[in-house]
Structure 1
């Protein structure tokens, strides 16, 4: 990447500071999926041959397997997940690998990877929240007639059904699911094709790329597309509220397990002890 313009290597301290591969390597499945879709678009446009596309696809699959098996060597001097994979691909298949970066910048590439990652995480978290809601609903159904104290300021206030308490948690988690679904709507935009900031003179079929990668629409403004991280901020906000709701439920259960309340007891599988006080059982 530094060939041509630069006469001296990057300073070691600058290289360590700018390298992101120590954490962005986790984006590898999305980077590989994006590269495969990009290769298909390049082939459809006649920029690479069908044989070159096959070599790229096979090479990317082999790299993915090596990463999954822990055999891939990450090189910090290549800065990030994108250049590591691209360099490894070119080393394996030759000139065809170097052609993969045609009509693409790392700017729209990382924007794509991050959107694919957030979409996948939203789906995973949403599914886990649904499983939690189902478990709470089943528990409520098993204890429909159980009456317990309702508290304000940790003082007994009014009697409530235990099932009513559990359904309250389901309501909160439902809002979390809705927020994540709403966040996904703004995440579900293909940025690939935006280039570094002003697009590319090489026209590719972005709608076809969007369909292959599962995006519902493509970005309209290249400058905004490569700079937009609103969706990531929204996602973090959604996670913070999910964490708050989980914490509130957990703190109630912890309080209820104390001798002062005595409502529940955690199983040994979800308890720990004390190094000084062996009689203790901590949640």
Structure 2
């Protein structure tokens, strides 16, 4: 099986189906991506808080790719198996004016640099106080090109992926994305060393290896969903405002449950009533990401002990 690579410089700052692919791969092949941090190199291991004040947001949240996957057609599903993630030995977290759930209360730029103990899997928040954070690296940005023409910002999440910022999609997990254009045009980036549900992350450069497989048997995939070795499986619904009507968290939560019902009906042959009951008694609704307001990420998760994964 061929192994391909995408370099740091092979990146872009918009989801746009007109961007030419940097490589072409066959379904089932492996690609390694070498990614800068979300600041696109504007923040380094020696930066001061002044770097946040001069941060050019238009250069942030770049993604590496796109990768053209042969035989991927609109209506298919792209299966993304995350095989391995390696971070740098440092990372950063910042208060960026205008971003975050409490952006109105924290308006001054701030920066924290972290030294990542990757061999032992943690980083000190405050060693003197004994406060440390476990490392669980993942890529915040994973997506495919949308069918809608034009350049679409990489900052929010979309139905085709993007800035999903979902901490459960780490090494050993599988992400499923709806294909909207020929070749899928997959890209990835935004390395995170750690993040809580709903929160911001320890941003870091990373190298990530994935396997890209075209699935013709999952036509129900309309939004990203994933399975993870950390127990739950999920169908996450990613929403964003549109001009015709206001989409709110209730809409997102309803849609997330509805998508999980569709998965249970298609993969486990339950009827809709049975699937709805199972979701009610065994599932969890979660806010995976609330940083890119008002573009929240709402997910619905079921434990593997309840529903074993169907390939």
The interval holding the TM-score normalised by the smaller chain is under 0.3
Q: Which structure ranks higher in relative contact order (CA pairs < 8 Å, sequence separation ≥ 6)?
A: 2
* Bigger Rg, structure 1 or 2: 1
TM-score for the superposition, normalised by structure 1: 0.23
Higher strand share: 2
TM-score for the superposition, normalised by structure 2: 0.22
